[in-house]
Amino acid sequence: MFSLKRISAVMCAGALALSLGACSSKETASTGKKEEGTGYPTKAITVVAPSGAGGGWDLTARSLTKVLGATKLVKQPLTVENKPGGGGAVFMAEYATQQVNNNNMLFVSSPPIIINNLKKEGNSPYGYKNTTPLAQLTKDYGAIVVKADSKFKDLKSVLEEVKKDPTKLTFAGGSAPGSMDHLISILPAYKYGVDPTKIKYVSYDGGGEAITALLGGNADVIGTDASSVKEFLKAGKVRVLAVTATERLSGDYKDVPTAKEQGVDAEFTIWRGVFGPEKMTKEAKTYWENAIDKLVQSPEWKTEVETQGWELEYKNNSDFEAFLGEQDKQVQQLLTALGMQK
């Protein structure tokens, strides 16, 4: 038989072990260094749009969080945060250095994550290889846009003007020089024989600001993504002179000719995807792969994509990574042709 002293000692030892175990659990949870086995996600999720409000990244981030929440595919709260600057380069620098382990912060991006990393001026040392690519969600196309009352009725009339004097017109976009909107703006001119380095381009923090500049008379032409000007086109505030698609788009863009139709071989596809931090845990990565796979198959997402004027183009993690490698080579070739490569 155990003595009372022995029983008391055993109980004390057991209590001490439980206490130490509890402390250890709390320590692990508080450090946030390991997510495995924690039932991720346990906190609210932030999806960053690396631009101001109103552009393609902002719309993508808000559509993504809206549908994920509405379908209950993600039960934790989802918020969108705008972090403009440098066509995404400012946020990318923060994300690749300060948020490298933050499984609770995702972001959306498109070709600028590659372009900013490869261009010569204002280049970013960080690119898609400093992230965990999760999935491509959609594709869109570039649009050359003027105000509804502009004297320009087609793409050729703009190009003839800049051919006579490349500095006469002000082009604008929601990204830094050498980035996506800039490339969309100058690509038709470059293909038309105009020196792209002489074209006057003004950058704004996001497509929404660029459209405001156009409507306010501070820009003559903007290069942007077709989906972000859809509502302005429907409202009769802008005229879309051309889209950079391989063939005409449907719906509100059915009467807008492609650049190629107008004799200008300028094609540019704008893919959009979602990314996580470079050191994302295996549990978090698997969670988002499964959630996004279910998202893109849902009728709610298909309706949202159609409403926004995008095209559904889903690539899972492995296919997306392979695609980004191909895009890296293509962008390098384009920047080299324009004299803007690093």
76 CA to centre of own chain: 22
User: Does the residue 33 lie in any domain?
Assistant: no
For the residues 197-205, what does the mean pLDDT come to?
A: 90
Six-digit token pair at 171?
């082009």
Q: Say whether both 181 and 64 belong to one domain.
A: no
Q: What is the mean pLDDT of the chain?
A: 87
Q: Do 146 and 261 reside in the same domain of the chain?
A: yes
For 121-125, 150-154, 240-244, 255-259, which range has the lowest pLDDT when averaged over its residues?
Answer: 121-125
Q: Which of 220, 250, 269 is the last residue of a domain?
A: 269
Does a structural domain hold residue 39? no
* The pLDDT of residue 24: 40
DSSP structural state of residue 119: B
Q: Which residue has the higher pLDDT, 309 or 21?
A: 309
Tell me whether residue 7 is in a domain. Answer: no
Higher-pLDDT residue of 198, 20:
198
pLDDT at 10: 38
25-29, 51-55, 225-229, range with the lowest pLDDT: 25-29
pTM score: 0.73
Does one domain contain both 218 and 265? yes
28 falls within a domain: no
Cis peptide before 77 (omega within 30 of 0): no
- Of 269, 293, 326, the position where a domain reaches its end is 269
Residue 126 forms part of a structural domain: yes
Range of the domain at 176: 141-269
Q: Give yes or no for residue 25 having a pLDDT over 50.
A: no
Closest by CA to 203, choosing from 191, 227, 189, 186, is 186
User: Tokens for 161?
Assistant: 């003007």
Same domain? For 132 and 278 the reply is yes
Hunting for tokens 């191909």 — which residue is that? Answer: 326
